Structure 1
Amino acid sequence: MTLSSLVEPPPRLWTRSFTVYWLAGLQSVFGNALTAVVVAVLVYNLTGQASAMGFTLALGMLPALLSPFAGVVVDRVPVRPLLIAGDVLRGLLVLSLAVGLMTGQAGLFWLNSVVLLSGLITAFTSPATSTLLPQLVQPENLARANGLMGMGTQGAQLVGLLSGAALASLLGQSQTLVLDAATFLISAAALLLVQLPERVKAPVKEGFWSAFRAGLQVLKRHPGFAMIPVLAFVVNVAFAPMQMLLPEHLAGLGLPESFYGVALGTVMGGMLLGSLGVTALGQRFQPQLALPLGLLGGSASLAVMAQSASLPLFYLALATLGIGVALTNTAIAYLGQTLIPEEFRGRVFGLISATAQAGMPLAMIVLGPAADTYGSRPLWTGAAAVMFVSTCAWLYLSQAGRQAQQAPSGS
């Protein structure tokens, strides 16, 4: 059976293609988490410097700034071969690093090169992944599918992060990387079983910059959604001081360093709970309501974390923060998949990915000195205020956009 022989996805959710795609995604996320743990240990062992780890992380994030331009390519080519090629290339990169460690040739330059190239591949596969789900499920199943993807991603990431250190200690770093490479190659093989209908693609003969500008023009047609890239940037800017100052804040509450992992696990648990709620709601999920609720929940959580000295309340705020993140991310994905025409989704999701990725490292650089000087409470309070104001601005623009669209029909 060829790809074009399927006119539309079947009415049920758990089709073979969706199930295989969901499981393949878990493989890739789990592999990424394993790599993150091993890379962190390798960089520190090679340099003994925290700043070197920051540089390596920045190299991995830097290619995400190219995602809007990668989205132009994504909108012109078949998605499935692109995702398969991405998994194969990332698997081979990780395998090369494992071989380099076994032979004693892998130094910091080799390691950073693998991280940079992997980030470049992700700049293409990230917008491609965001465009694929509406091709696998019917519109009435799209909310549940997004919730399930969120649950799978968060669960696989949590398991990968928790098991990464144990696997590296048990198997060794190079053998753990071989296992990681295998997860990417298995994911690529699984994607061969995914069948997709023929999708609408952007015209190949259209000029590159014309295609890029066309994607921006599509955003302008939806005033509320046009602010999503800005919201993605603001949310990541707001979360940067939370991650930077969490260890110091926990120490101020009299907790040992080991509770940092518990705190991050609480946020991840909240995200899993939020994704579970979206899945349970199914067709009743309302992204226009979930997005501001998620943002307001995140804003309130940061404010409570900044001001409260109660440990149970602090951890409740962390869990609520995770729920807010899950609602926000799922609502953004759902709105993009339903509002943006199919041939423009790669460019739009690429722009969102780029602004989101740019927010956190930029905030860490700019706010680093302020974090050392003022501590967690004022910075978290400021982040909460920024998120609240941004939410109000999004609500205003969304309402104004709906009124503008209704005005011609009512006159």
Structure 2
Amino acid sequence: MGRNGGTVTAPAAGTASRYPLYLVSYFLMAIAASMAGVAMSFGVLAKTGSTALLAINLALYFLPALLSPVSGAAVDRYGTRPVLAASIAARVVLLAAFAATVAWWTAPASVAVLMTITLLVGILKLPTSPAMRKVFTRTLPADRYVKGNAHLSIAGQSGAALSFLLVGAAIDRFDAPMVLATAAGVFALVGVLTWPLAHATRSPNSAATTRRLAVDTAGFVALKTSPVLLASTAMTLATVIAFTPTEAVLPGQMQDQGHGASGFTHFLLAYSLGVLAGGVLIGRLDDPRHFRRLVPAAATVLVLAVAGLGLSAGIAVLLALGLIIGACCAMLESVAMARIHQHADEAVQGRVFAALHGTESVVRAGVLGLIAAATALGVGRLLWLAAAVPVLVLTAAAVARPGRDRVPEGEPVEAS
């Protein structure tokens, strides 16, 4: 049982020994996802030459996040093993189909096919994240959740960084279809590696098993009604808002300041190294006494670093800020996700993590929309100060009131 009444099933004996396999799977999944995303974009751009079609393709990829309540309900209702296997297998098939469509291009029919495949990938990938999170809960004991999430930050960011370093050169040398086929092969390997992990069976919760699969808001309700989960969500959203402007604002800023595209890729690399450093630090300081001091410090430094991006033009300072932002985001997210693993009832964990993922996607899209509007108005570097404000508010709320669930001992933290 989690603190404050959150029911969390203890891992079965010996499941922690499979944790290295879980980390390897997570690492390879990050490589495959990053590789596939870049190759899909370059495939569309290479064949159509249209930035507008590329934007539409990206929108179709992220838009299905609105269906996260359905994907979370599927994880809880059917269990993690079959849902995760089906989600990964679907991605293998769809990426292979995308590669074939690009390789044997026939305009304009191929455009519609690629858009359809992208939409299906966006839908069928949704259960992967909540299923892997629920497997994580079954793999480690609760007292290792923070350190485990630090490991996940390191594995995920290392995989993404390695993929970004290699995928551009691979596309230039072998073309996008070959890279997509490789990504499909890596996902197939991930499917094999995740099969023997400690999976959660279908939920014993009657609401998860007797209703037909549909939009289920139990995850959103749990995030809203549990003070611990709400504070953790606020901390996670703060990291999303802190990083999102770097994708939309920083490329142009680097160009204007004479640092070019290489300056932007170097910033992303610095951010990745920061995530690795933050993950290592929070993993070594796996003690609640340290969290009470480290989390407020990381939140304060994150706010200052985001605001600092609008005040500096020197590449060395910008790279240092990227390193700091990555480290702070890793520390805050590791603690936040550990709290969710510990306090969310396992019966609704699929829906809770799906709701969190959907919320993050919606907030990210909203931030990008506001940035587009603000840029059109010529706001300039004040965007960084504007981004720092909600980061300050969210982290302050999460740190000042981490929350205690108002649920009697012995009752799960859930809402279904």
TM-score, with normalisation over the residues of structure 2? 0.86
Separation in structure 1 between the aligned mates of residue 327 and residue 278 of structure 2, nearest angstrom:
4
SS at match of 1:107: helix
User: Which protein is richer in helix relative to its size?
Assistant: 1
Q: In the TM superposition, what are the counterparts of 1:245-394 in structure 2 within 5 Å?
A: 245-283=249-287, 291-394=295-398
Separation in structure 2 between the aligned mates of residue 352 and residue 136 of structure 1, nearest angstrom:
21
Separation in structure 1 between the aligned mates of residue 370 and residue 293 of structure 2, nearest angstrom:
32
Provide the identity percentage.
21
Following superposition, the deviation at residue 200 of structure 1 comes to 5.2
Following superposition, the deviation at residue 289 of structure 1 comes to 5.7
Contact 2:69 2:217 in 1 (8 A): no
| Counterpart code for 1:55 | I
Count of paired positions: 397
Q: Which residue of 2 aligns with 1:108?
A: 111
Following superposition, the deviation at residue 351 of structure 1 comes to 1.2
Write the deviation string for residues 124-168 of structure 1: whole angstroms up to 9, x where unpaired. 122111211120122233222222221111111111111112122
Following superposition, the deviation at residue 69 of structure 1 comes to 2.9
| Counterpart code for 1:319 | L
Cα 1:235/1:155, change in 2 over 3 Å: closer
Q: Which residue of 1 aligns with 2:19?
A: 18
Separation in structure 2 between the aligned mates of residue 270 and residue 159 of structure 1, nearest angstrom:
15
User: Unaligned stretches of 5+ in structure 1?
Assistant: 1-5, 407-411
Contact 2:84 2:128 in 1 (8 A): yes
Match status 1:89 vs 2:90: yes
Following superposition, the deviation at residue 46 of structure 1 comes to 2.5
Following superposition, the deviation at residue 208 of structure 1 comes to 6.1
Q: Which residue of 1 aligns with 2:6?
A: none
Write the deviation string for residues 73-115 of structure 1: whole angstroms up to 9, x where unpaired. 2112220221111111101111112222333348222222222
Q: Which residue of 2 aligns with 1:37?
A: 38
TM-score, with normalisation over the residues of structure 1? 0.86
Contact 1:270 1:319 in 2 (8 A): yes
Cα 1:246/1:81, change in 2 over 3 Å: same
Separation in structure 2 between the aligned mates of residue 388 and residue 39 of structure 1, nearest angstrom:
35
| Counterpart code for 2:268 | L
| Counterpart code for 2:43 | L
The alignment's C-alpha RMSD in Å is 2.9
Separation in structure 1 between the aligned mates of residue 215 and residue 393 of structure 2, nearest angstrom:
33
Q: Which residue of 2 aligns with 1:164?
A: 167
| Counterpart code for 1:126 | S
Cα 1:391/1:197, change in 2 over 3 Å: closer
Contact 2:92 2:187 in 1 (8 A): yes
Cα 1:295/1:110, change in 2 over 3 Å: farther
Q: Which residue of 1 aligns with 2:130?
A: 127
Deviates more, 1:368-377 or 1:281-290: 281-290
Contact 1:28 1:87 in 2 (8 A): no
Among 137, 140, 163, the alignment partner of 1:137 is: 140
Write the deviation string for residues 306-336 of structure 1: whole angstroms up to 9, x where unpaired. 1234443322111111112212221221011
